[in-house]
Amino acid sequence: MFVLVDEDGAQVAVSKGRLVVKNGSAIEAEYLKHDVEGVIAFGHVEVTRAALDLLLKKNAPVHLLSSRGRYLGCLMPQEQGLPLARVNQYRAFAYEAGKVPLARAATRAQLANLHAVVRRWGLRRDDEEVAVAATKIAELRSMVPDATTLDELRGLEGRAWKLAYRALGVVLEPYAEFSTRQRRPAPDPPNALLSLFGSLTAGHAASMLRAVGLDPAVGFNHGNSRGGPALALDLTDIYRPMLCLAPTAALLTKRVVGDRDFWPHKGQALLTREGIRRVLRLYGAVCKREVTGRDGARTTYLEHMARDAAALAHALRTPGTEWQPLEVR
């Protein structure tokens, strides 16, 4: 589970081997350490050294958000001392020929997952425009095996996401206005939610890649020139349809959050304290949802992500091994 701490002055600490949330001397909540998958600290929250030791040793990231709801970053464990994994990674990613097979596998999975989400929207709403978008995304996915360059694969991704965002606008039409994806600044609730979910998911992806010895900053599809977590974003993109796109639609169409939960600040929409509490509660529930992968394994999205990170490290270590990340049904 994710531990959400959003009360100013609260402290995350350890007591009798358990992770506890304290307010002054009173313990408000306590958790068995093996149940904790991560901590999301919102506002003026203190995380003690003992709590950090416990969390980082079990590879549980600590997400930090400002009191205004801005995502600040993520504390992650040190790499696990597998230098050979990074040697293989750097060697494979030195040339486009080493990147294309992995980028092709990631794009195939990403578009399959995107199709599954948009198709589900079309079936639930019985909406022809959304159904057509799902069909076109499926057609783009069928073109992935014939793509031979990164530019071709990125082009297919871009066209698919354009269709998905258009479908999201249709789904949200009665509830919120959404015309285009805009990241910085995120001017409206849908964009703000998409960005927040993307940051949280990328933090988990980076933590899992570090755990198997890979460098989150050196990717096969995202550019490495800006110094961002390129490989973490490559892995995040596979899960973005389920962990970012679908929850955004669910929160707004079910009126879990609305305009009342956002306030404008320098051209961007920021979540209120109560709004972010509801948003993060849903995100934690979605991450724990169990799904079945192509290999028949049924487990949570985060467990699938960890498996995909380990499989990627294996594929880099064993030339000729096909990487097959999660594709939902």
Question: What are the percentages of helix, strand and coil residues in the chain, rounded to 5?
Answer: 55, 15, 30
Task: Name the CATH topology of 83-317.
Answer: Four Helix Bundle (Hemerythrin (Met), subunit A) (1.20.120)
- CB-based contacts of 68, cutoff 8 Å, min separation 6: 265, 270
Closest to 42 measured CA to CA, from 61, 22, 65, 74: 65
- How many residues does the structure list for the chain? 329
Q: 37-96: per-residue pLDDT in tens?
A: 888 888 889 999 999 999 988 878 888 887 766 778 888 766 555 677 888 899 989 999
CA–CA distance, 141 with 157 (Å, rounded to integer)? 9
Q: 217-256: per-residue pLDDT in tens?
A: 999 988 765 657 899 999 999 999 999 999 999 999 999 9
Average pLDDT over all residues of the chain: 89
CATH of 2-60, one of 3.100.10.20, 3.40.250.10, 3.40.50.720, 1.50.10.10: 3.100.10.20
Q: 264-311: per-residue pLDDT in tens?
A: 888 889 888 888 888 988 888 898 899 998 778 889 999 999 999 999
Q: Where are the domains of the chain?
A: 2-60, 83-317
Give me the pLDDT at residue 261, please. Answer: 92
The pTM of this model reads: 0.85
Q: In sequence order, what are the beta bridge partners of 64?
A: 41, 73
Question: Between the CA atoms of 233, 234, 240 and 244, what dihedral angle is there, to the nearest 10 degrees?
Answer: 0
Q: 63-76: per-residue pLDDT in tens?
A: 888 776 677 888 87
